[in-house]
Every structure is written in C-alpha cells, then in structure tokens.
Amino acid sequence: MPLVNMKTLLTAAEEGGYAVGAFNCNNMEIVQAIIQAATEEHAPVIVQASQGAIKYAGLSYITALTRVAAEEAQVPVALHLDHGTSFDQVMRCIRDGFTSVMIDGSKLPLAENIALTRRVLDVARAVGVTVEAELGKIGGTEDDITVTEREALMTDPEEARQFVAETGVDALAIAIGTAHGRYKGEPKLDFDRLRRVRELVQVPIVLHGSSGVPDEAIRTAIQLGVRKVNIDTNIREAFVKGVREALAANPDEIDPRKILGPAREEMTAIVREKIRVFGSSNKA
C-alpha cells in the first residue's frame, strides 16, 4: 500500500497501548529486512533515515526504495526523517515523499527550538506530514559524561508541557537516560521522569537510543506512554554479524549476494524480535 502518515500509526498505537518500531535504514538490504520483518509480524512499521543515511545513499534512493517496498507490502509503512537539524533538509524530504519528519532542535535554546519546530509544522501540516521534535539532549553512549551530567541533559517535564502547548507537535522525543550506540553497562531509565512528562503531555512519546535497552525496560516505557521506539545499532550489529559469518564460512566468497543475503536474514530476525517486544505484532 502507499506510504502512510506516521501520526495515523501512532494514534492507533496510543489506542492499543503498544509502540511502533522505527528502524534506521541505509541501503536496500536494510529496507527489505525491515519490511520483511513487519510483514511476517503483521505489524505497522516506520522506516527512518538519518541525515547521514541520506548523504550515504542519496535522498531519492532512500525514498524510492522505501516507497516500492511499502507499495508491495500488505502492512502500513511510514517513511520518516530521523534527527533532521536543518529546515531546508526537512523541506527536501517532504518534497521527495517522506510522510514524517523529525526536526531536532534539542541543541538550541528552548525558545529557538520552539520557533524552528513551529516553522516546520506550518509547512508539514499543510501537506499532511507528521512532525516529531526533541526536547532534552539524548546524546551518544560514547559521550564521556558522568551520570549527573547526563541527568542534567534530561527532559524537564514542565518544559515538555510548554513545548507541546506552544508548538502542537505530533510526537515528542525525550531524554530519560537512553543514548545512541552501544551501551557499556546497562542503561538506567528515569521512569519517574517519563511518568511526569506523560501526565503533562498528551502527544505520543518517542524513545531514542533503544538498542541494548533490556526488553523489560522497553515494556515499562511503553506502559508509561512511549509509542515510537527507535532502533539502529541492533540492526548494524546484525548486518555485520551476517557478513562476518558468511565470510568466515567461505573466505573466498566474491558474490555480494552470498554475503549480504545472510546479513539481510540476520537483520530481519532482530527486527521481528523487537516488533514483538513493542507489542505491535498483528496490529496491521
């Protein structure tokens, strides 16, 4: 079916009390793995591309690959820009056919983040595209900061209330202790903070940096209102595992299909596992 608006998927998730998986793509095999997994699980799904992915693959390739995959699929698929930081980039994605965009103004002062998000919303609303924003700084696992410093970057619930009231954004990414990349230890999520945000904010909450977060913590976050869960690193790991194993089994292999095929299967398996944890199986 044609690509769908992300808001439709998140509204259904809100009603059903589950979360929709948002999986990062960088090439054809990743897009195929995500759609195959969603198809096998009968699950709605979000394919997302970062600015880095767009730089690597090309905007029109990302859009075309995902559009074709969605059109052939029997499950609803949204195409989302992940961590867009530039107004112009967001506009290019909308023009190219993305059905959802993230405008990440989290590094800006609050008033500027609100102003940038509103500017994007003005355009996106007119063309039926969903908008996600970020408040608080999610950061990376590599960032060399202490627990106290990380806490200082977390989302302030009162600011979240003000942000949503003043922007009317469709979905809000918040910082509650997760980080992008591979965790060194076990991440500790601030569920009290999530609970307080949820009391003050009615829009779907987005959890970034979800690879490596224990399943139980993800389930709790979903119970507390998370409706979109972002996964990238786990897909990268599965891709590399598949490639490594294929080459270890046959070091002389030169057929890319025999190397990337197993990688695609590994990625399909991990995306299926995540979809089950998010509770979105059989929701398509």
Measuring CA to CA, which residue among 198, 199, 154, 205 is closest to residue 178?
154
Q: Indicate if 192 belongs to the active site.
A: no
Minimum CB distance to Zn ion, residue 232 (Å): 7
Q: Which is nearer to ligand G3H, 82 or 170 (CB)?
A: 82
Instruction: Report the alpha-carbon distance of residue 20 to residue 281 in Å, rounded.
Output: 9
Q: Which is nearer to ligand 13P, 193 or 246 (CB)?
A: 193
Residue 180 contacts ligand G3H per CB under 6 A: yes
Q: Which is nearer to ligand 13P, 184 or 258 (CB)?
A: 184
Instruction: Considering only CA atoms, give the Rg of the chain.
Output: 18
Choose which of 2, 17, 52, 214 interacts with ligand G3H (CB under 6 A): 52
| Residue 211 binding: pick among ligand G3H, Zn ion, ligand 13P, none (C-beta 5-8 Å cut-off by kind) | ligand 13P
Instruction: Give the length of the chain.
Output: 284
Q: For residues 42 and 77, is the Cβ–Cβ distance under 8 A?
A: no
Instruction: Report CA-CA distances (Å) from 87 to 83, 124, 130.
Output: 11, 11, 15
Measuring CA to CA, which residue among 276, 186, 179, 144 is closest to residue 222?
276
Instruction: Report the alpha-carbon distance of residue 217 to residue 156 in Å, rounded.
Output: 20
Query: Token digits for 213?
Result: 């977060």
Minimum CB distance to Zn ion, residue 102 (Å): 8
20-24 and 226-231: which strand pairing? Answer: parallel
Minimum CB distance to ligand 13P, residue 248 (Å): 25
Residue span 194-213 as binding mask against Zn ion, x where in contact by CB under 5 A, dash where not: --------------x-----
Q: Which is nearer to Zn ion, 25 or 246 (CB)?
A: 25
| Residue 210 binding: pick among ligand G3H, ligand 13P, Zn ion, none (C-beta 5-8 Å cut-off by kind) | ligand 13P
Instruction: Report the alpha-carbon distance of residue 157 to residue 140 in Å, rounded.
Output: 21
Q: Which of 82, 170, 190, 232 is catalytic?
A: 82
Residue 232 contacts ligand G3H per CB under 6 A: yes
Residues binding ligand G3H: what is the number (CB under 6 A)? 8
Residue type, 102: M
Measuring CA to CA, which residue among 170, 42, 161 is closest to residue 110?
161
Residue 50 contacts ligand G3H per CB under 6 A: yes
Q: Which is nearer to ligand 13P, 13 or 271 (CB)?
A: 271
| Residues 145-204 within binding reach of ligand 13P (CB under 6 A) | 180-181
Q: Which is nearer to ligand 13P, 134 or 246 (CB)?
A: 134
Minimum CB distance to Zn ion, residue 247 (Å): 30
- The number of beta carbons lying within 10 Å of the beta carbon of residue 185 is 7
Measuring CA to CA, which residue among 131, 199, 140 is closest to residue 168?
131
| Residues 251-270 within binding reach of ligand G3H (CB under 6 A) | none
Residues marked as catalytic: 82
Residues that bind ligand G3H (CB under 6 A): 24, 50, 52-53, 82-83, 180, 232
